[in-house]
Structure 1
Amino acid sequence: MNAKKNNGFRAAFGNAFLGFDYAFRTERNLKIHFTVAVLVITAGALLKVSALEWAILMLTIGAVFVTEMINTAIEYTVDLASPEKHDLARKAKDVSAGAVLIIAASSVIIGLIIFLPKLIALF
């Protein structure tokens, strides 16, 4: 096995951007998360969230993106390691998808905690 190593800091960043670009172009759920993130950022700007609320929102958005991308990487790896149907392969994919579900549900709750009082105050 002759794996090619990164040729430095710049190459590592380049590979990371290529990975994000590929995931964004090919993964429907990542596009959905991106759309929701744009809506959340827009709502945050319009509703004038505090610096602490911005920090929480950015960490939450980042956690959703990271979890979705790790889920995608796990799915690719499982498909490579087990191209045939296998119960353990299905379980690995289901567990990683469950992680995305948990962070997505948590992000909705965080959004409600931050935005609901501001929206109620408008009406």
Structure 2
Amino acid sequence: MKDKEFSIIARVKSFKHAFNGLKLFFTNEHNGWVHLLAAVLAIALSLYLNLSTLEWIAIISAIAIVFAAEIFNSAVEKLADVVTSEINPQIKIVKDLAAAGVLVTAILAVLIGAIIFLPKLF
């Protein structure tokens, strides 16, 4: 494969595609809406509790990690559905593994939230 020269226009287009992916995720994926609602609630609570800089970093990082995992999971599911519409045991395993990745990050986010918010609330 021949290396292409650096192009500002190509870089701008890549950002356009990425932002389109975010738009698709938040408009078409129900789990995206659920995670967005959870993120808005976490941010509102963070503002209310006047978190420290490090606590904000932890909350924002947890939100970003969950979003990224859910976006990757959605991409895997869409790609698998293109490969075959029939039930396939190997594709089920791939989808289940991708979903497990989201679950792990969501559990992490809940634990981070509990560690930060619970002592401040009680």
How far has the Cα of 1:82 moved from its partner?
2.3
How far has the Cα of 1:85 moved from its partner?
1.1
1:102-113 matches, cutoff 5 A: 102-113=104-115
RMSD (CA atoms)? 1.2
Q: Where does structure 1 lack aligned partners over 5 or more consecutive residues?
A: 1-5
- Measure, in 2, the Cα distance between the counterparts of 1:33 and 1:21: 14
Task: Among all aligned residue pairs of Structure 1 and Structure 2, give the percentage whose two residues are the same amino acid.
Answer: 37
Aligned to 2:78: 76
Q: Which runs of 4+ in 1 moved over 2 A?
A: none
The one-letter amino acid of 1:72's match is S
CA displacement 1:4-54 (0-9 Å, x = unmatched): xx9511100000011110111110011110011011001001001100000
How far has the Cα of 1:105 moved from its partner?
1.0
1:56-95 matches, cutoff 5 A: 56-95=58-97
The count of corresponding residues between Structure 1 and Structure 2 is 115
Aligned to 2:36: 34
TM (norm. structure 1) is 0.90
TM (norm. structure 2) is 0.91
Q: Where does structure 2 lack aligned partners over 5 or more consecutive residues?
A: 1-6
